[in-house]
Amino acid sequence: MLSLDEIRKRLKEYDGIPVSFMEVCGTHTGEIARNGIVSMLSPKIRLVSGPGCPVCVTVASYIDRLLKLSCRERTCVVSFGDLFRVKGSRLCLNDIRGRGGRAEMVYAPENIISLAEKEPETEFIFAAVGFETTAAVYADLMERLIAFKIRNIKLLTALKVMPPAIQWVCENGSGIDGFIAPGNVSVVTGSEIYRPLSEQFGIPFAVAGFSGEELLIAVYSLLKSVGKPKVINDYPYAVTEEGNRMAQKKIAAYFEPCAAAWRGLGMIADSGLKLKREYACFDAGSESLCEDAQYNPSCRCAEVLVGKISPTQCPLFGTVCQPQNPQGACMVSTEGSCHNWFVNRRKR
């Protein structure tokens, strides 16, 4: 096994064919930027960010739906913080607060339960956005809603699963030679979930942890395996081949696959999760949504999200669009590519 110093040296001095690796996890995007990983690599190794930030891939029509619900009588929309600044076609949840809508920020599902208990006459709509890891949290919430007979909380789901989006990226000619697979999602799904994709497209996947060192190791694993169908688990102390069976069972108990709309990618079959028919009374109307509007038409989030362009190639980057005044979803979240490029420009 090579020392980390040797891995660093090989990554820096690599002089083979140019390769592109994509990370599909917003947290990885943030850590790659924060640790200045790109500057530690040979110019022949390109890292691109994929559709791995749940907020960034949420379509404008979903935000519009939340805004509409927030203005309904005796209704309150509840969400985790990042979503508050994502614009729909015109406004975001932050804007609606002063315009007759009601939206509350929560930090954990417990917060929405206490809100609902205090105001039994109000209907609370939880914006259920995220990937497999977060789906387990919403499944847990569903279990509690049923156990404690709480009927004034509903979910508006925009939950997504990762493999169909990776398949979309592979099929749409983005020229990716390997994927840094998301460590957090893989804790739930297990590393074997990437095997069929790896074999179908003849490319390696390396499941990575979240430190700079772990990311460098994953990049090196991919570099050694270019052109080979291989799944490498570089996060073995947290991820197993089969994943967290209990979480998978819980998710399957309440949710079922559905087509989902991804910002930048469009509708992808079986890439979402919706509440099962028997739990329709907890659903706030999450029928399929499509990307139908964009706050700023010059925003190029769609291309950034699939690695076709880097954020700096967007004409609004750093000028009109900054973290304080985001024009697109990729600049909102700390996990968004544009946000990370902006904040960590010097490290790059």
Report the interface residues with ligand SF4, using CB under 6 A: 296, 299-301, 304, 311, 314, 316-317, 321, 327-328, 330-331, 338
Of 158 and 321, the one with the shorter C-beta distance to ligand SF4 is 321
Q: Which residue of the chain is nearest ligand SF4 when measured via CB? A: 328
CB of 344 vs ligand SF4, minimal distance in Å: 14
Q: Which residue reads 């040296």 in tokens?
A: 9
CB of 103 vs ligand SF4, minimal distance in Å: 22
Of 254 and 341, the one with the shorter C-beta distance to ligand SF4 is 341
CB of 136 vs ligand SF4, minimal distance in Å: 29
Q: Where are the alpha helices (DSSP H) in the chain?
A: 4-13, 26-34, 60-70, 93-96, 109-118, 132-147, 162-171, 183-189, 195-201, 212-224, 245-254, 301-305, 337-343
Of 163 and 311, the one with the shorter C-beta distance to ligand SF4 is 311
Quick one: CA dihedral 93, 95, 99, 105, positive or negative? positive
Of 286 and 340, the one with the shorter C-beta distance to ligand SF4 is 340
Of 98 and 297, the one with the shorter C-beta distance to ligand SF4 is 297
Query: Cα(153)–Cα(4) distance, rounded to whole angstroms?
Result: 49
CB of 35 vs ligand SF4, minimal distance in Å: 21
The CA-CA-CA angle for residues 295, 84, 330, to 5°, reads: 55
CB of 79 vs ligand SF4, minimal distance in Å: 19
User: Phi, psi (5° rounding) for residue 332?
Assistant: -80, -60
CB of 310 vs ligand SF4, minimal distance in Å: 10
Neighbours of 288 (CB within 10 A): 12
Neighbours of 325 (CB within 10 A): 10
Half-sphere exposure of 71 (CA within 13 A, CB side): 14
Of 203 and 316, the one with the shorter C-beta distance to ligand SF4 is 316
Query: Cα(348)–Cα(11) distance, rounded to whole angstroms?
Result: 16
Beta bridge partners of 325: 322
CB of 335 vs ligand SF4, minimal distance in Å: 13
Of 244 and 327, the one with the shorter C-beta distance to ligand SF4 is 327
